[in-house]
A = this chain, B = another copy of it.
């Protein structure tokens, strides 16, 4: 359809996350390449701040932007909102859910990760993960709903279950979620309710391993525990979850009665990986060589959470800096290839890691530097605002935060979504029934 240079290489990128989007943007001046970016959602999402949407601190539009508009000035790139269902490595073609085929000269897979429930997929209904805007607004709805229901509940035991929140998984996401949840009930909601006392809300962070934030130095992890406890969060370590249902969470023979649980315990890569017929690691990540290509398929690359690069630092953490650096690296390699130069191996530059604990604390680790408290939180703020895609988003998020900080309020405490009942699928059915 599109006009193309006779010799232009067709690059298909699957996934508009950090890796895919960075790659496409870095190729914006490249005339020798024709890019097709496929993503099943219409927006690029700044996932590190997704927990703020779930905790009603930010609106979805503040941390997401339409991929189409982020790339609207890039003449060599097209965007389609399509789910890729299959890749034919022999014919060099990807297939979408509409049955359309898109041929490629180069293919980059950067589909990200999903939550892993370790064989207990039924738990997902009771403890959703936090990977998409839909999940974030659903968690927000459940949390705010629980407080509203508790205000009306007469039975003290049911009320207690409504005001108990379990966060499963003590990595950075679990720490940030439970901190924000503790803070929200302690400060933001405290004055809004009359019958219940939101400060009595119980937030429990449940970790199977011996300590939270296992990727951080132990001294920072215990600093995080103290920070969480000051926000009223109970931290349970060495507590592997054995059951989750509508009634609560079980750890062995102990049961925590709660109406709301969130899953932050494990991720597995996209379903597409298994379709490729190539070697995956135990977590389902595609094993790629030092140049990020699939062994024997130099024209197919995998990046971001979907990839497992063997080499120094292996395995790399599933975080935004890794994906960004891989996207940048791939753009450079494709440019080199167009110029007839050989490939270079990918090397991750570790810029450290950080996690926030509530409204003005964080832990930060960069090489041998370790920090906690307000200074670490300010560093966290600067880094996240800087990276947040799009100038507008940056300004608005800062204003929103400044406001929330000053007023101890949360901007987006809306319960939306459950009651609207018309979806296109249902519409079609109605049409058939009425014979209209």
Chain A residues in contact with chain B, CB under 8 A?
A: 1-2, 41-43, 59-62, 64, 66, 68-69, 72-73, 78-82, 98, 100, 122, 124-126, 128, 132-135, 137-138, 142, 144, 148, 151-152, 191-195, 243, 245-246, 392, 395-396, 399-400, 403, 407, 409, 411-420, 422-424, 426-428, 430-431, 434, 436
Stoichiometry (number of copies): 2
In the assembled complex, the Cα of A151 lies from the Cα of B41 at a distance in Å of 14
22 A-B pairs in the complex with CB atoms less than 8 angstroms apart: A41-B415, A42-B413, A59-B60, A60-B412, A60-B416, A61-B414, A66-B414, A68-B193, A69-B192, A73-B191, A78-B194, A78-B195, A82-B152, A98-B152, A132-B420, A134-B417, A245-B436, A246-B427, A246-B431, A392-B407, A395-B399, A417-B417
> Please, which residues of chain B bring their CB within 8 A of the CB of A409?
69, 392
> Would you call B144 and A42 a contact (CB within 8 A)?
yes
Closest to A188 in B: B69
Closest to A83 in B: B419
In the assembled complex, the Cα of A69 lies from the Cα of B192 at a distance in Å of 5
> Please, which residues of chain B bring their CB within 8 A of the CB of A137?
416-417, 420
Main secondary structure of the interface of A (DSSP, over half): mixed
> Please, which residues of chain B bring their CB within 8 A of the CB of A152?
80-82, 98, 100
> Would you call A125 and B72 a contact (CB within 8 A)?
no
Tell me the minimal C-beta distance from A118 to chain B in angstroms: 15
Tell me the minimal C-beta distance from A257 to chain B in angstroms: 14
> Please, which residues of chain B bring their CB within 8 A of the CB of A414?
42-43, 60-61, 64, 66, 133
> Please, which residues of chain B bring their CB within 8 A of the CB of A68?
192-193
> Please, which residues of chain B bring their CB within 8 A of the CB of A399?
395-396, 399
> Please, which residues of chain B bring their CB within 8 A of the CB of A416?
60, 133-134, 137
> Please, which residues of chain B bring their CB within 8 A of the CB of A42?
144, 148, 413-415
- The answer, among B61, B400, B417, B420, for a CB contact under 8 Å with A412, is B61
- The answer, among B134, B192, B422, for a CB contact under 8 Å with A420, is B134
Known: A152-B98, A245-B436, A427-B246. A124 touches B422 (CB 8 A): yes
Known: A66-B414, A413-B69. A80 touches B192 (CB 8 A): no
> Please, which residues of chain B bring their CB within 8 A of the CB of A431?
125-126, 245-246
> Would you call B122 and A420 a contact (CB within 8 A)?
no
